[in-house]
Structure 1
């Protein structure tokens, strides 16, 4: 995996903690939240304050997320907001944290200067024992304060100030005045620098969770469904109309089409469908060549053509189906009418431009395993899992391709593949509040979200 790290494809854009004072403040917060401390003198943290180095040190990659839900967080700086969220159990978690920081940036800056901010993404349940528990996640709320309780003290001081200003005898209440003075020593001037943090409960409807092997939950749809990566052993009835797995190609395709969630890429406006499909063909050839030990360290277009000729007969069915479509597009003849049972079917689809665009493209990336670029863009954890199984030749090619072809123009590549998304980036989710809307307003573009 170090090859990915060196190319900036894994653990990229993390916030660096190197100074003695910052390490000390992190330890203060870590002990407050988990009862543990780190002996490391420098490390990196994600948007939630999770450090992969500390996870290794503690032998606990979930030290800020012990039950798989109610993610805890540590904020040393508002600059963490551009970092990714590692080991995310729910596809919505990073966007929630980002919106919380954006909405409270001034207050969080003032608070984090004096004391680290700690908090939790609070669901209505505290553990998930079976898939049905996922449907008890009716609300999520961000609960946060400093380690020293400055926000709570600020709220208490605000209440006393209100009493002082409104009660007839407030000006002569020596006890009340003494309590206000004592609290102000802890909070500072809350009139000039308010310490209240805005939070809001909201409903989580459509999301992906890595729990139970991976489940896509679509509750806000004309026909509701759960789509699982692995078939569930649970006999519990889930409160959706359909429970499918990725192997149920006909049923998955029907769900996507009935709910008008996808479109063929060659029907999309201003899209070079032929060019996109040619690249998918290249990825399939690379897979076959790497499996046969070919040196792929500096593959040119000419080399790729030679590899196609060499392995053409041995290439999988999906390659020949896609090749036929590319040929038909080039000469302008009618395209074949494919069914979900055809190997190439899902490679021809992308999400329509709706609130669940990222979630649907994420699902499609797992239906099209040969397209490692889409898998990396849309579902990094699945990409990393697949990457571990590849030959060294394919690892070298894929990491170099992504570094050279994707990382240099992430926004342009995403627009080319998935179409324009005004106001929506990889964090773009539907939180039950309308298209491109988060719990505290419109979702901003964040180009660093996928690093």
Structure 2
């Protein structure tokens, strides 16, 4: 894994905690949440405040995520919103925590100037020892305060101020006034600098979880289902009609189709389908060549064609199915009939434009593990696990490729794969509008 770390492909973009003041704030928050303190004087933290170095020190990668259910967090800076979230147990955790920071950014910026903010993503349940408990997970509430309880003091002070203003004898209540003064010394001037954080609850109906070997739960679609990466019989009785494992390719394909969750890459708008298909084929060639121990110093398409000729008798059906699709996309002709039984089938799909797109792309990455770029982008947990099992030649090729083709322009790579999408406000990009109505605007009658 050292190669990935050196290239910024693992533990990249973490927040560096290097000053004594920040270390002390972190330790206060850590003790507040867990009763522990770190001896580290220099470490890195992710979006939630988890530090790989401290995880090694405690020999506990879940020291801020007990039982992997209610993730605790420590915020030292609003810049943590740009960091990855490590050791994810629920796919929704990063989006929820990032949204919480963005919705409270000005308040958090003021609070973290002098103290750490500690909190928890409180699930509907505290223990998931049985798969059926996953269906009790329906919402996540974010609770947070500084280690000095600034938010709690401010809330208390707001209530006292209301009493002072409304009670008939409030002006003459020396005890009330003294308590207000004492709280104001702890919370600051709440009239000029309000420090309330929104205690917001987020829905969590559709998600992936690392529990029970990995499960995808789709509850809000027209035809709900749970898809496990392990043995579906081991899950027992669950309160849902459809339960699939990765071997149920036909049933998963129908699930995608019935819920309009996917679309063929060759028919998707806003992307270069032929380029994506070629790249997927290249990854399959690289995997076959690595199994044979061949040199993988392939940086051009000509190099990959040379490898493809060398391993032509070892290329799987998925490669040939994608080649048929590429031929149709570039030269036309009859549409290649690729059924869900065909190993190329899921490689030929991408998530449709729905609220479930990220979760669907994550599942597609699981179904298409040879597509190392989509695997890295959409399912890093699985990518790192599979990376450890690859021959060193493949690990070297993959790390170099991702550094060269993805790391330098992440947004561009995502746009090339998944196409342009509306921005956060729902506006269509300007380029799409120009393409639709022309550079001089729409023609008016």
TMscore range, shorter length: over 0.9
The structural deviation recorded for 1:297 is: 3.5
| Alignment-derived partner of residue 134 in structure 2 | 134
1:410 aligns with 2:404: no
Name the CA distance, whole Å, in 1 between partners of 2:123 and 2:299.
49
Q: Secondary structure at the match of 1:120?
A: strand
Equivalent residue, structure 1, for 2:224: 224
Structure 2 spans left out of the alignment, 5+ residues: 428-445
Q: Deviations over 1:35-93 (max 9, x none)?
A: 11111110000110000111011110000001211100001111111111101111111
- Distance between the aligned counterparts of 2:83 and 2:235, measured in 1? 39
CA separation in 1, counterparts of 2:270 and 2:181? Answer: 65
Name the counterpart of 1:151: 151
Question: What SS does the aligned partner of 1:47 have?
Answer: coil
Q: Does 1:72 align with 2:72?
A: yes
1:127 is paired with a residue whose SS is coil
Q: CA deviation at 1:332?
A: 1.3
Q: 2: distance between equivalents of 1:312 and 1:234? A: 39
- Corresponding residue for residue 284 of structure 2: 284
- SS of structure 2 residue aligned to 1:67: helix
Give me the whole-angstrom Cα distance separating, in 1, the residues matched to 2:119 and 2:368.
38
Distance 1:41 1:235 in 2: 44
Q: Find the aligned partners of 2:143 and 2:329 in 1 and give their Cα distance.
A: 54
Shift of 1:233: 4.6
Q: Distance in 1 between matches of 2:25 and 2:36?
A: 13
Q: Say whether residues 1:384 and 2:391 are aligned partners.
A: no
Aligned-partner Cα distance in 2 for 1:194–1:109 = 12
The alignment covers a number of residue pairs equal to 427
**Partners in 2 of 1:98 and 1:393 — Cα distance?**
36
CA distance in 1, matches of 2:423, 2:236: 39
The aligned residue for residue 59 of structure 2 is 59
More contact order relative to length (CA 8 Å, sep ≥ 6): 1
Deviations 1:183-215 (A, max 9, x none): 111111111111211122232111111111111
CA–CA distance in 2 between the matches of 1:236 and 1:347?
31
Aligned partners of 2:72 and 2:119 also within 8 Å: yes
Q: Match for residue 421 of structure 2?
A: 421
| Alignment correspondent of 1:294 | 294
Bigger shift: residues 298-307 or 207-216: 298-307
Query: What secondary structure does 1:413 align onto?
Result: helix
Aligned ranges for residues 234-383 of structure 1 at < 5 Å?
234=234, 236-297=236-297, 299-383=299-383
CA deviations over 1:123-143 (Å, ceiling 9, x no partner): 111111111111111221000
User: Where do 1:113-124 residues align within 5 Å?
Assistant: 113-124=113-124
Question: Any conservation in 2 of the 1:329–1:335 contact (CA below 8 Å)?
Answer: no
Q: SS at 1:113's partner residue? A: coil
- Conserved? CA contact 1:164–1:170, under 8 Å: yes
Q: Distance in 2 between matches of 1:135 and 1:421?
A: 31
User: Are the counterparts in 2 of residues 140 and 202 from structure 1 also a CA contact under 8 Å?
Assistant: yes
Query: 2:47 matched to 1:34?
Result: no
- How far did 1:99 drift? 1.1
Which residue is 2:16 aligned to? 16
Contact in 1 for aligned 2:7/2:403 (Cα 8 Å): yes
Are 1:224 and 1:241, in contact at CA under 8 Å, matched by a contact in 2?
Answer: yes
Is 2:166 aligned against 1:166? Answer: yes
| Range 122-131 or range 250-259, more displaced | 122-131
Give how far 1:408 is off: 1.7
Aligned to 2:46: 46
- 5+ residue gaps, structure 1: 425-435, 443-451
SS in 2 for 1:189: coil
- CA contact 1:100–1:199 (8 Å) conserved in 2: no
**CA shift for structure 1 position 114:** 2.1
Which range moved further: 302-311 or 288-297? 288-297
Deviating runs (4+, > 4 A) in structure 1?
A: none
Distance 1:177 1:329 in 2: 77
The residue aligned with 1:433 is none
What secondary structure is seen at the aligned counterpart in 1 of 2:113? helix
Indicate the RMSD between aligned Cα atoms, in angstroms: 1.5
Maintained 8 Å contact 1:115/1:146: yes
Q: Give yes or no for contact 2:122–2:141 (8 Å, CA) kept in 1.
A: yes
Counterpart Cα distance in 1 of 2:162 and 2:271:
60
State the match for 1:446 in structure 2.
Answer: none
Q: For the structure 1 residues 423 and 238, does the alpha-carbon distance in structure 2 shift closer, same or farther, using more than 3 Å as the test? A: farther
Query: What is the alpha-carbon distance in structure 1 between the residues aligned to residue 337 and residue 302 of structure 2?
Result: 32
- Partners of 2:235 and 2:93 in 1: how far apart? 28
Q: Which residue of 2 is the match for residue 429 of structure 1?
A: none
Distance in 2 between the 1:148 and 1:375 partners? 42
Alignment match, 1:394: 394
1:122–1:140 Cα contact (<8 Å) kept: yes
